Every structure is written in structure tokens, then in C-alpha cells.
A and B are shown apart, each in its own frame.
Chain A
């Protein structure tokens, strides 16, 4: 256990940044499941693809106009937009055909996507890990040295959470999406194109994931196989929080990220086991999650 306030802070902030990464990926997963009832196994693979894309764009921009941290921002924006388009395409071509199918077939399709995406990554970027080095000096606070970029990351997480909430509750499109969750027939009858809504939601989820991969590049090196670890933990987050609930996903990400960060200190090998213990407890006592509603299933 951390003995002084400094190492406590370090664990807290690394846990918070971990929470934010989980949230950014899991929120898309939760949104897609909430609206379309599709469990997208390949979500973390698309996250990984977004990360590699950001990396390459950043490299290209740097070689074109010199090393500058702000170029990363540009790379993230371009990669996010591109992955939005990729998400749209995947929904139009593949996911759309799966709405009437049963869960295992949906999972089988998205599992096939995992295999294809990870092999494409291997084909294009090779097998070594990639990361971006930003020249940032750690700041000292209460005897602990903390990378200030962590604050950027945590800020992004809170920003996206607030943005998603605003989008779903305060904008016209967000209201349409929520209405489509309750009754797609009624929304369709009112003259709104349900297929466009579905493609948009899927693309949005993928874009958020790609965005998070880019934002985390300076502190989390990406590599093959990382998507598998992440997707299983994101399932845990989504289930603990409750399917389709953004607030629940946010709270669950905080719980999982911070618990993981501290349990690594106590029992390094079993940190993930503790996460799954929480998941099992929630599933048995409250299968619909902390913030989900029992009605929907």
C-alpha cells in the first residue's frame, strides 16, 4: 500500500488516466449496444487501428513541417475523422446485416473483424510497439513527480463524458438517438431515417475510440494484442455500469481504473482477478449493472 501522500497521488492519477481510457472505449461500446443491441467485439481493435493511424499521421506531419507537439492534435483530429468514416462504412457493409441475427453470430462477425484488423495492422505497421515521445517535464507536487500530460488525458475523458451527455440530452440528434432506443418503429414512423441514425451511432463510437487511442499515444505505447486485453476489461466496465448507460459506464470506469491502479501495488499478478471479482459480484447481485435498468432485458 502507498505509505506517503506522494505515491498515493501517483497511483491516483495513473488510475484516473486508466479510467479515462477505459471510459472512452467502453462508452462507444455501451452506446452501440444501447442503441443497436450489437455487442461489438472488434471495438478495441478499431481503437488500436485509430492509434496506429494517429502515429503514422503524426510522423508524416512531423517530417513535413518539423517536430511540434501541436501536430499531434492535428493528427488526432484527422485520424478521428477518418475512423468515423471507417465506422460508418463497417456499419453500412457488415453490421447492418446482423441486426436480426442472434448474439453468437454477431460476436462471430465482430471476432472475424478482430482477426482481419489485427492482421492488417501487422501487414502495415509490423509487430513492434509504437509510441510518441513528447518533450514534457514532470511536475512536482507533494513529493511526487507527475507527468502533466496525465491532466490533459484526464481532462479529455471528462470532456468527452460531458460532451456525450450534452449530445444525448440537449441536442436534437441526441434526443432522436435516445428515442430510437425506446421505440425505433415510432421514430421511423415520424420520418426519421433509422439506418442513418444507426450508422452515425456506430461511427461515433468508433471515432471516440480512435480519439482516445490518439490522445493516449504519448503515455500508452500501442502494440498488437493490446486490443484483446482492453476489450475484455471494457466488457467488465460496461456490465458493471449497466448497458447503454453513459453515466454508469463513467462511474464503472472510475471504479475499475482506480481499483486496478491500487491493487497492482498490493497483488501485482491478481489486479485483473480483482476486477473480475467485482464484475462477478455485480452480475450476480445486480445483473443489469449499477446504473442500468432491469426492464430492458
Chain B
């Protein structure tokens, strides 16, 4: 936490630099970014074409996926390389239920559709509970690798269980009710769901539980000393993150009209990690901004060159080497005009703390 003197110094600085910085200092970067993004998100499909609307849906869904990852990484200080497992579980749950309803009538009703979407929540929660039970026993690099291993395990299960999941063919031809087949309608539906999910995630990160997570990130031993049940808190957060990943997955299935095992693969697990780091893990809105950059680059660069991995790889390289805090931390240090690096106190610029995290 900043000391009183630092606080007073920064307050004086903001007073000197006028109303914009005072307002900015009060609202924080994430709120400012969202204030800009919300009107853009609301108006975008009316102005942009079909293709951009589809990209917009992708940005929203993958943004929610990345936000769920950052609950584990940014707030709890562990890296989950298997987050796609829950994204995939949600997608498959929705896809299988949709297919079952379609098989009987050939169409799908609105109630049935919402039921299929909703089912992703208990399914991904259950999956995260089982995986998390083992995962919370480990931290640091072992947490990362075990999560990768569980993700791959689920991937191969889905991949080889032809009778139930369709194996590597996946499930094709998932119908949504007529209203949602229009990409603009589906865009606004997704926007609503993602916005609601973001409000809930924001509330969680600002609750006492959210601060418990930050404590687990900074020092687990001290957290245990003050009487926090470390494993239970980690497990709860892991399940919450799994549920939001599952919701993202359930939105993905009717949007793509098909699911395949690749949704659970480790490349899919990698994307929220990259989005979060590109946007800035220290900011609530970071994963969303990262999703915008990553998804849009992916979509538009692919149109102009077949060598998009080269392009995107070089961009990631530049960001990692020269802008380690992500895009938002650059903007933040420019706008606030102070040396404050992040919304999260005590995170950046403190290698001792980073070591502390990695070791325990």
C-alpha cells in the first residue's frame, strides 16, 4: 500500500495537473477505458460491416475468457495453462444439449436454448471443482504445468471419446433460435451477457474475498497466519474462474455453430494468457483490451497476409521486450503523470515480491 506521504504527494500532483488528471486519478484507468469502450461497443455493429460484427463477438467472448484467466493470474498469482478445458466443457455442454433438442424437433426453442447455455455453468463448475481439488495443492510453476496436464487430459478424453463427443470431428450444425442467427442480434446478446459477467467479476475483485486473493498472490504464508484457509480460497476462485470460462465457451458454441476438441487444446489455453499480458494483467480491463488487440490483429492480419503468425509473433516479442506491463500500463503512466504503475498496489516494480510469489 502507498504510504500516507506518497498519497499526499500524488494528490498534490493531481491537483496541480488539473481537472482531467484529478478525475482520472479518481476513476482509475479501467473505468476510463470502459467508459470509452461501452459506447463504442454499443454503436459498433450499426456502423461496421458483417465481418467486423463477427470479430466483435469474438472479442467479447474471448475477452470474458481472458478475464476469467486473470482472476487466477492477476488476482491470485497463479498461472492456469488449462483454462481452455473449462471453456471447452462449457462449449460442449451447450452443443450437446442443443443437439439433443434439435434431434427431437429439428428446431430449437428459446427456452431450450437458454437452458443449454445455462447448463454450461454447472458443468464447468463441476469440472473446475475436480481439477481444482488437485491443483490448489501446488503453486508456481507446478500449478502451471499441472493445469496444462489436466487441460491436455481433458482434451484427449474429448478427442478419443467418439460415441459421446464426436471425437476429432467435433459436433457440427448447432442451431440457435431464429432471432440469434443474425450476427448483429447475437452481438448484442453476447454484449449483454459479457457485460453482466464483467459486473459480477468486478464485484468479486472488490469484495473482501477479492482482497483475500490479492493476499494469496503476495504472500500465502502470511495469509495462512491470519487464518485464511488458503486451499479453500484458491479452490473457490478456481471454480469461479472456471464458471466464467464455461460461460464464454457456451456463447462460443452457437456462435461458431460447431465445437471441436481444439477448443480444449493448449493453444486455446494460451490465448487468454497472451491477451492478458498484452493488455496488462494489473488492470481489471487489461484482458479485455488484450482480447481486442489480439483478436482484431488475428482477424485482420490474416486477410492481408498468410504469414500472420510471423506478424503477431513479432508484435508479441516487441510487447514483451519493451512494454512488459502491457498496453494499459503505458497508457496509465502517460495519463496519470505519476510514477504509479498499476491499479494493484505492490505488484509492479517489486522484484522481491515477484520472487516471493514464484517461490511459495
Partners in one complex: yes
Q: Which of B149-205 contact A (CB under 8 A)?
A: 149-150, 152-153, 156-157, 159-160, 167
Verify B138–A272 contact, CB threshold 8 A.
no
Verify A280–B134 contact, CB threshold 8 A.
yes
Asked if A297 meets B320 with Cβ closer than 8 Å, knowing A104-B277, A108-B277, the reply is no
A208 and B141 alpha carbons, distance in the complex (Å): 25
Contacts of A115 in B (CB 8 A): 309-310, 312-313, 316
Contacts of B145 in A (CB 8 A): 235, 239, 283
Asked if A109 meets B156 with Cβ closer than 8 Å, knowing A102-B358, A232-B266, the reply is no
A251 and B69 alpha carbons, distance in the complex (Å): 34
A272 and B156 alpha carbons, distance in the complex (Å): 7
A109 and B313 alpha carbons, distance in the complex (Å): 9
Interface residues of A (CB under 8 A from B): 39, 94, 97-98, 100-105, 107-109, 111-116, 118-120, 122-123, 228, 232, 235-236, 239, 267, 269-270, 272-273, 276-277, 279-280, 283-284, 287, 297
A183 and B149 alpha carbons, distance in the complex (Å): 31
Verify B273–A297 contact, CB threshold 8 A.
no
A103, A116, A283: which contacts B310 (Cβ < 8 A)?
Answer: A116
Judged by a CB distance under 8 angstroms, whether B288 is at the interface is: no
Verify B134–A111 contact, CB threshold 8 A.
no
Verify A228–B309 contact, CB threshold 8 A.
no
Contacts of B346 in A (CB 8 A): none
Verify B320–A109 contact, CB threshold 8 A.
yes
Judged by a CB distance under 8 angstroms, whether B270 is at the interface is: yes
Which B residue's beta carbon lies closest to that of A278?
B149
Q: What are 16 A-B contacts defined by CB distance under 8 Å?
A: A94-B321, A103-B140, A109-B320, A115-B316, A116-B310, A116-B317, A119-B310, A122-B307, A232-B152, A235-B148, A269-B156, A283-B142, A283-B149, A287-B138, A297-B140, A297-B142
Verify A270–B156 contact, CB threshold 8 A.
yes
Chain B CB within 10 Å, residue with most, of A97, A101, A276: A276
A123 and B309 alpha carbons, distance in the complex (Å): 11
| Nearest CB in chain A: distance from B200 CB, A | 25
A97 and B322 alpha carbons, distance in the complex (Å): 10
B141, B156, B309, B354: which contacts A297 (Cβ < 8 A)?
Answer: B141
Contacts of B281 in A (CB 8 A): 104
Asked if A108 meets B156 with Cβ closer than 8 Å, knowing A115-B313, A116-B309, A232-B266, the reply is no
Contacts of A98 in B (CB 8 A): 320
Verify A283–B146 contact, CB threshold 8 A.
yes
A202 and B147 alpha carbons, distance in the complex (Å): 26
Number of A-B contacts (CB under 8 A): 114
B153, B324, B358: which contacts A280 (Cβ < 8 A)?
Answer: B153
Asked if A112 meets B314 with Cβ closer than 8 Å, knowing A103-B141, A105-B277, A297-B142, the reply is yes
Q: Which of B80-139 contact A (CB under 8 A)?
A: 134, 137-138
Judged by a CB distance under 8 angstroms, whether B351 is at the interface is: yes
Contacts of B137 in A (CB 8 A): 284
A95 and B358 alpha carbons, distance in the complex (Å): 19
Judged by a CB distance under 8 angstroms, whether B274 is at the interface is: yes
Which A residue's beta carbon lies closest to that of B79?
A104
Contacts of A272 in B (CB 8 A): 152, 156
Contacts of B142 in A (CB 8 A): 239, 283, 287, 297
Verify B73–A104 contact, CB threshold 8 A.
yes
A267 and B143 alpha carbons, distance in the complex (Å): 29
Verify B313–A269 contact, CB threshold 8 A.
no
